Structure 1
Amino acid sequence: MKIIYIHESIAYKGGLERIFVEKMNYLADKFQYEVYLLTTSQGDVPFSFPLSPQVRHIDLGVRFHSQYRYRYFKRLREAKRLDNLFRERAQAVIDDICPDFIICTTAWKPGVIGRLKGKAKKIMESHCAKEYMAIPDNFSRGCIRDWFDRYEAYKKCRAVQKYCDVLVTLTVSDARSWAKGFRRPIRVLPNFTWFVSLEGYLDYNATRAIAVGRLTYQKGFDQLIKAWAEVHKVYPKWKLDIFGEGVLKDELNAQIKTYGLEGTVTIRPFTDYIAEEYYKSAFFVLSSNYEGFGLVLIEAMACGLPCVAYDCPHGPADIIYNEEDGILVEKGNLKDFTDSLIKMILRDEDRERMGHNAKIDMERYSPENIMAKWDTLFKKMI
């Protein structure tokens, strides 16, 4: 069976890039599928996550970022030219390989990829929940740009409905969002984590909480810092470490300074050894305004960390059993969120009980369980 994954590049250390690589590696190494990664803009940039030697990489040399050197109208013409170049070069590769499946995301070029010709079935994955596809990392860029973002998201949704053979969502709630008026099959296949097989000792008596994610509006770290300012008044010895990088770094550091939390709340860069950081923490915090799934949530819980999380769309409610392996808080309720952080600090025995439950519960997100479902989907579609 031949499968082509298409994405702009695997250069950013994000959850989507990581799970794409891990799925490709699993399909090639475990199932012995013939797997290809087709990128447009990888160039000489190293992969952000190690790609199996069994996965064959082809870069098309279409540098989409080059369009941003031009002013608006010339940029539109350049974007169209690059789309055509991408389709032409990708079509040549597909004609040569004759894949059984082409896999891409709903958020990146579904209209261009959807028009590629051949026998291949097209599977499009929704990694960013449908209703949030129009929201950029910095949330708002002005009325005209916001309108443009919404229009682009509308075109992507139309392309998904027109061209995909199967839409794969990560959560049941996102599947429901797509299902309204959607005439294509939808399958719910969540992400998996290798962390379920890791062995490590977690110190539930550590006086540190941890959060992980891009420093953008989506992750809601401004609300977390505001809540931790109240936690600090009651438990000044407890620390909060946020691992992430992004456009709001300076703004969040300024907020930390404003609340007098220097040395208490620390923003640290992404690390390739995040599991070691989980094991140094007592619980995990997710303050997101929205999620596509919540990969870091299942990773932390697989290490045995109980979690305090906003019940945001989409993901946390699918993952956390409230008061069993974590605490779910109504989205936007800052007081309850703060109280839940304090409760997690205060209740040592419950923290350990929920952490043990979390590790057991995350076995349902093991690679073996999730990838067996992908294998079944491929064989049924064939």
Structure 2
Amino acid sequence: MKIAFLLHTAYGIGGTITTTFNLAAALAERHDVEIVSVLRGRDNPLLTPDPQVRLRPLVDLRTERDHPRHKEPSRVFPTAESRYGEYSRLTDERIARCLADIDADVVIGTRPGLNVHLALQAPDRVLRVGQEHLTWDHHSPHLRTVLRRAYRRLDLLTTVTEADARLYRRQARLARVPVQALPNSVPGPVLPPSDGRAKLIVAAGRLDPVKGYGLLVRAFAKVVAEHPDWRLRIYGRGEERDRLHGLVQELGLSNHVHLMGAFAPMEGEWVKASIGAASSTFESFGMTIVEAMRCGLPVVSTDCRYGPGEIIQDGVDGRLVPPGDPDAFGAALLDLVRDDERRRAMGRAAAENARRYDPQSVVVEAER
């Protein structure tokens, strides 16, 4: 079977890129797989695709950024989609031509705007699968209206959590389109898992208000007050860096909290730690939670809607705490910091339980 993924860009770093590369690599063991990257902005991908997976860009921004058709706004990509400004008449034409000529049996879109292209422009001879990496209620009312109309032409829609699949079934009104939950996949670690001995907590993700790193820093202050030999490392870059740096200074945590910048792959950093932390106010899934668990870390996470509650078994392989409560988050961290044996046992359980997100396990679900 020939399978093609339609991806915004394969040349950056992000959860959608990572999980697409992971799933493509697993599928390539039994199928002919291609990733079509709408945009290309650099010579080589920052993440390494599997050598069995072909990579094909459609618009090369290194040479075509000033193309006259790229100056004209897109007429297909939804205006309410967050990436609309990066699409154009040129991308419309290249995507349409790609889909018209594609010899794949299955084409998988990986974001709402590309799912619209797929629904409207792919020929009936291909199986059209739309992937949603965000959630129904994350989309604006305008975008939901567009998706309700376009998604009726898909053959299948997948979400990354069962909770979101239920919401799509209720509200998207896609009576003839199956909606199935298919979680993101994370391969098993190459390095030995954490032994749970290091006095280190690690968090990773873009430095954005939704990630709640201010709450995490305040929660960690409670750990430092009792256990000053513990450290927190936060990996990522983004608009919140200066504010977080100021908060660290204000709380007197300069020797305890370190903003590490972006780092990929993260596996080598997870295994150095003993606890993972995820403090988001919103998650559509929780990719870093699974990454940390696969490396043998129990994860303390806010129990925000979607994602974390489907990944973590509270008290077994991690802890779930109410969003927006630094006291509860700090108490959960302290429970693991204080109890070495419990922390290590939960880390072992995390590594075992997270095996269900192995790409091969996800492929089995995808092929049903």
| TM-score normalised according to structure 1 size | 0.84
Aligned to 1:146: none
Letter in 2 for 1:314: Y
Whether the 8 Å CA contact 1:209–1:241 is kept in 2: the answer is yes
Aligned to 2:73: 78
Unaligned 5+ runs, structure 1: 69-74, 134-149, 377-382
Change (3 A) 1:49 1:159: farther
Aligned to 2:55: 57
Letter in 2 for 1:91: A
CA displacement 1:141-175 (0-9 Å, x = unmatched): xxxxxxxxx35533553355333221111111111
Aligned to 1:139: none
When structure 1 is superposed on structure 2, of 90-99 and 224-233 the one drifting more is: 90-99
Do structure 1's residue 326 and structure 2's residue 318 form an aligned pair? yes
SS in 1 for 2:367: helix
Letter in 2 for 1:42: R
- Aligned length, in residue pairs: 350
Distance in 1 (alpha carbons) for counterparts of 2:263 and 2:285: 21
Whether the 8 Å CA contact 1:8–1:42 is kept in 2: the answer is no
Aligned to 2:19: 19
When structure 1 is superposed on structure 2, of 262-271 and 98-107 the one drifting more is: 98-107
Do structure 1's residue 125 and structure 2's residue 131 form an aligned pair? yes
Deviation of 1:263 after TM superposition, in Å, equals 1.9
Q: Which of 183, 187, 192 is equivalent to 2:180? A: 187
Whether the 8 Å CA contact 1:115–1:163 is kept in 2: the answer is yes
Whether the 8 Å CA contact 2:202–2:275 is kept in 1: the answer is yes
Distance in 2 (alpha carbons) for counterparts of 1:331 and 1:157: 30
Whether the 8 Å CA contact 2:233–2:259 is kept in 1: the answer is yes
RMSD: 2.5
Identity %: 27
Deviation of 1:222 after TM superposition, in Å, equals 1.3
The structure carrying a bigger helix percent of its residues is 1
Distance in 2 (alpha carbons) for counterparts of 1:334 and 1:160: 42
CA displacement 1:283-325 (0-9 Å, x = unmatched): 1111011112111111111111111111112111111111111
Alignment of 1:83-98 (within 5 A): 83-98=88-103
Q: Which of 236, 244, 253 is equivalent to 1:244? A: 236
Aligned to 1:167: 157
Whether the 8 Å CA contact 1:15–1:295 is kept in 2: the answer is yes
Unaligned 5+ runs, structure 2: 77-86
SS in 2 for 1:290: coil
Whether the 8 Å CA contact 1:223–1:334 is kept in 2: the answer is yes
Distance in 1 (alpha carbons) for counterparts of 2:224 and 2:346: 23
Whether the 8 Å CA contact 2:111–2:133 is kept in 1: the answer is yes
Distance in 2 (alpha carbons) for counterparts of 1:160 and 1:306: 41
Change (3 A) 1:61 1:67: closer
CA displacement 1:76-110 (0-9 Å, x = unmatched): 96344954432322232233333222111243433
